Amino acid sequence: MVMNQRFRRIIWCRKWAKTEWAIVAVGFALIIFTFSLTSDSPSRDPAGSGGGPLDSSATTDLVPLTLLRNAIERGAFCLDGSVPGYHFQKGFGSGSSNWVLHLEGGGWCNSVASCSYRKTTALGSSNYMDRQAQFSGILSRTPSENPDFFNWNKVKIRYCDGGSFAGNPESEFKQNGTKLYFRGQLIWGALMDELLSIGMSNSSQALLSGCSAGGLATLIHCDAFRELFPKDANVKCLSDAGFFLNEKNIAGNHSFESFYHEVVSLQGIAKSLDKDCVGRMKTSKCFFPQEFIRSIKTPVFLVNSAYDFWQIRNVLVPTSSDPHGTWSKCRLYIRFCNPSQIEVLQGFRDSLLNELSEIQKTKELGIFINSCFIHCQTWATETWHSSNSPRINNKTIAESVGDWYFNRKVVKLIDCPYPCNPTCYDISI
C-alpha cells in the first residue's frame, strides 16, 4: 500500500515515551483505512475504518489464521469468493471455558466499484490477509494488560464482506465477468457454528466485541449471539467505536445517511436488520445503532469517543462539505481547530450524549465515553489497559468493562468536554 505524502507525520497530544510508539501503529492503520479504502458516497470520502497492525512493543502473541472449514458447504464467502478466516487462541486455567470474540473493523463498500476494489484487499479477500495476527488489548493473554479476560479463549474474526457481517446473497452482482459475493450474514452463521463445534458451546461466560464496522456488527448480532448459549450463561456485548451517528454534515446534508442507504441497498442488508425498526422507518436508517439499540435485549457496553476522529472526518466534515478547505486542518487534528470549530465539535458530542440520554438509564447498559480524538480503543494495550491509558474517574477502559461484565458495579462513565482529559491520546496526521 503506497503511503500518501500527507501521512509523513503523526503528532500526539503529549510527549512520547518509549512504550507509546506502539500506538502509532494503531493510529497509522486507522488513517490508512480511512483514506485508502475508496467508496462512491456523495462525500467522496473513503469508507474504511478500523483494522490493522496492533501494539508491537507490549507483550503480544502471534496467532495463526484459520480458514473457515465449512465455508464452501455453507456458501459463506468473502467479497471475492475466497474463504473467510479467524484467529483462535485457546484459553487456560480458570478461563478455559470462557470466550471473547472480537470482530475486526474496516468500513463498508457502497457500490460495485468500491466493492470491486475492496476485494483486492484483506478487507475483501482472505488471499490478502496476514497469516498471523498480533493479539493485544482485549485479546492479550498477559494479566497486567488484560486483567479480566487474559486467560479466556480468544477469537479475532477477520472482516471481508464489506457490510458488517450483514449482507445477503439475493443482492449479489455479476456482470461482464465481475462477481461480488454479499455473504456477510452467511459468514456470521458459519463462523458461529464452527466456534461452537470447537468448544464455545460449553462456555459459561462469553463476550462479543468489535471495533468500528465490527462494533456495529456486534450490535446487529448481539441478541443472536446470546441465543447460542444456555440461559444461565453470562453473555454480553461490547461495541467499540461502533455507535455511528446519523448527523448532518457541516454543509447541512445527510451525506452519511445516503452512504449507508447505498450500502444497505447494494448488499441486501435489510433482511439482517431489526424487524421492529424496519417496520417503522426507512430501512437504511436501521443501520444506525441509535435506531435499534433500544430493541437489544442482551446487556451492551458502549466504548466511544465523543470526538471520534473517523466520524468527524467522514460524518461531520466529509471533504465534499468543505469546498474551501476551512476545516482541512481541524478535521485532521483537533488541536488545530479554532474556537468556532470546537463549538461545532461540542455540538457533535452533544448529539451523541443526547442519543444516549434515554438508554443510559438502563442498568444493564455500560458506557465509557471519553473526550479523546481517536477511533477504536479496545484492541491496543496502550488504550485498553496500561499505565498510560485514557481514564475517566481514574478507570481504564479494561477496568470499566470488567466492572460491568462481572456486575461489580454499574458503569456510566462520561468524560468532561475536550480538552479537559490529560490522559487522552489524540491522533493526528
Residues with catalytic function: 212, 308, 375
Distance, CA of 165 to CA of 272 (rounded, Å): 9
| Grid cell listed for 76 | 459463506
Residue type at position 60: T
Can you tell me which residue has the cell 456477510? Answer: 184
Closest CA relative to residue 287, chosen from 307, 308, 265: 265
